[in-house]
């Protein structure tokens, strides 16, 4: 079994070549004029990797929180108002909703990884399945559009959202490949690969997220929204939902910890690269460290492009944090011994970090916390106000959550 894919496309001139907050703000500023009615009218169109001005392409920055959902919504509302920008604002809140939904049901993430392990074992044991997976991930199935998207993903680290839906549908219902392997292919290559958004979106296409509701890729739809670039033959005419156990009942939403007192060490993960805006109360920052968990996004080979973007986002966050808090900072290994050293450098028994949602960084922190406690160290996790307000409403589908968006906008002061 191989995790390699071919990438015949050259690097495309995409607007997130730099993983910095400055680049995120510049991209938001460039997109703002189109975030209103123009976005609603053209957002589903995928003209190709060279023509992306109809969508924001903020997702890699948002995924690492080089820029926050609250900032984006606030700027868009100030420019367009809610009526004109409602569709774009909803799309931003989809990310918040997915994170909240998974945070209330973390067992679904564990279930995905169990299914992925079984699918990888099946691939390893079956040469025909292995060949089919290799053809799909290297763009050699002969399916117009699908092959192009596979190569585009590997070459650029990005796909238009509509193309992601078409790709997932063809993977599941036409090629009849395990959905977990498709979701893993995305996680290994997407710069915005997010445990919640990616896992739950693939489940939605497969008909196991919203029970019985699937997404069927159709030739006419692809032809229309790619502006005639692709018109694939041989797609499945039906999309029967896959079997899966119902999701567990939602648990209580996290509240986060209170801001600590006194001198602390600040830990920055790739889940939140905006440390200078964290509500730390009266805490004094004695030392700052970054940890990277991008290798945990997949049991397979994660793209070097993903590792590099994550590394650069953390380096940018560290530079801003050391300037803002006037404290020394450095990258640290994601181990109990290394984090103990970080606390020692701060002269503190407390490590504070932005709340890490369900995903690889959270898994690592949860595993290390007992060791840190044995060393006499306390881990304090600060939850962002928007997450704290929004996640409790992610108990059902998106449409009930959507009705709460105006309330959340007012409650979090986004206007």
Dist. CA 74–CA 63, nearest whole Å? 18
Contacts of 190 (CB under 8 A, 6+ apart): 153, 157, 158, 159, 198, 306
Across the chain, mean pLDDT equals: 95
Residues 20 and 69 occupy one common structural domain: yes
Q: What pLDDT band is residue 14 in, cutting at 50, 70 and 90?
A: low
Residues 74 and 218 occupy one common structural domain: yes
Mean pLDDT of 134-150: 98
Closest residue by Cα to residue 364 from 330, 332, 320: 332
Q: Is residue 258 part of a domain?
A: no
Residue 11 in this model has a pLDDT that exceeds 80: no
Q: Is residue 256 part of a domain?
A: no
Residue 9 in this model has a pLDDT that exceeds 50: no
Q: What pLDDT band is residue 326 in, cutting at 50, 70 and 90?
A: very high
Residues 159 and 285 occupy one common structural domain: no
Q: Is residue 254 part of a domain?
A: no
Taking only Cα atoms into account, the Rg of the chain, rounded to an integer number of angstroms, comes to 21
- Tell me which residue range forms the domain holding 314: 263-382
Cα→Cα distances 334→199, 243, 341, Å: 24, 37, 11
Residues 62 and 131 occupy one common structural domain: yes
Q: Is residue 38 part of a domain?
A: yes
Q: What pLDDT band is residue 15 in, cutting at 50, 70 and 90?
A: low
Residues 311 and 389 occupy one common structural domain: no
Dist. CA 140–CA 279, nearest whole Å? 49
Summarised one tens digit per residue, pLDDT across range 35-46 is 999 999 999 999
Asked whether the whole model's pTM tops 0.85, one would answer yes
Residues 135 and 184 occupy one common structural domain: yes
Residues 50 and 178 occupy one common structural domain: yes
Summarised one tens digit per residue, pLDDT across range 84-131 is 999 999 999 999 999 999 999 999 999 999 999 999 999 999 999 999
Burial class (CB in 10 A: 0-12, 13-18, 19+), 365: buried
Q: Is residue 365 part of a domain?
A: yes
Dist. CA 186–CA 297, nearest whole Å? 10
Summarised one tens digit per residue, pLDDT across range 73-91 is 999 999 999 999 999 999 9
Which runs of consecutive H residues, i.e. helices, occur in 48-106?
59-63, 69-104
Summarised one tens digit per residue, pLDDT across range 182-214 is 999 999 999 999 999 999 999 999 999 998 899
pLDDT the model gives residue 315: 98
CATH number at residue 372: 3.40.50.620
Task: Sheet containing 284-290: give its strands across.
Answer: 329-331, 284-290, 263-268, 350-354, 378-382
Mean pLDDT of 132-149: 98
């Amino acid at each position: 079994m191989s995790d390699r894919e071919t990438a015949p496309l050259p690097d495309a001139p995409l607007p997130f070549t730099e993983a910095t907050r400055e680049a995120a703000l510049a991209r938001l500023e460039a997109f703002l004029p189109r975030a209103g009615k123009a976005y609603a009218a053209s957002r589903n169109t995928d003209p190709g990797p060279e023509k992306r001005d109809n969508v924001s392409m903020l997702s890699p920055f948002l995924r690492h929180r080089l820029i926050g959902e609250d900032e984006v919504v606030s700027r868009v509302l100030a420019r367009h108002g809610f009526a004109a920008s409602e569709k774009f604002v909803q799309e931003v809140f989809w990310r918040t909703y997915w994170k909240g939904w998974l945070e209330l049901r973390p067992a679904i993430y564990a279930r995905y990884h169990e299914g992925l392990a079984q699918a990888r074992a099946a691939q390893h044991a079956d040469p025909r399945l292995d060949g089919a997976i290799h053809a799909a991930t290297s763009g050699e199935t002969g399916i117009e559009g699908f092959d192009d998207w596979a190569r585009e993903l590997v070459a650029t680290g990005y796909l238009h959202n509509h193309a992601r839906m078409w790709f997932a549908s063809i993977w599941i219902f036409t090629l009849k490949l395990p959905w977990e392997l498709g979701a893993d292919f995305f996680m290994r290559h997407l710069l915005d690969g997010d445990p919640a958004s990616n896992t739950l979106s693939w489940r939605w296409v497969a008909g196991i997220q919203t029970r019985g509701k699937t997404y069927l890729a159709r030739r006419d739809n692809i032809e229309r929204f790619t502006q005639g670039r692709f018109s694939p033959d041989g797609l499945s005419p039906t999309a029967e939902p896959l079997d899966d156990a119902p999701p567990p009942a939602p648990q209580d939403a996290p509240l986060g910890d209170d801001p600590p007192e006194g001198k602390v060490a600040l830990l920055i993960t790739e889940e939140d690269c905006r440390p200078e805006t964290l509500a730390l109360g009266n805490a004094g920052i004695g030392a700052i460290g970054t940890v990277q968990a991008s290798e945990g996004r997949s049991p397979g080979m994660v793209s070097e492009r993903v590792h590099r973007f994550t590394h650069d986002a953390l380096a940018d966050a560290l530079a801003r944090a050391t300037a803002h808090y006037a404290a020394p900072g450095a990258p640290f290994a994601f181990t109990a011994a290394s984090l103990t050293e970080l606390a020692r450098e701060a002269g503190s028994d407390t490590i504070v970090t932005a709340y890490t949602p369900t995903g690889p960084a959270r898994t690592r922190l949860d595993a290390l916390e007992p060791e840190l406690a044995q060393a006499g160290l306390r881990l304090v996790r600060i939850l962002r106000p928007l997450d704290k307000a929004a996640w409790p409403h992610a108990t059902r589908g998106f449409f009930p959550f959507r009705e709460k968006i105006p309330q959340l906008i007012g409650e979090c002061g986004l206007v």
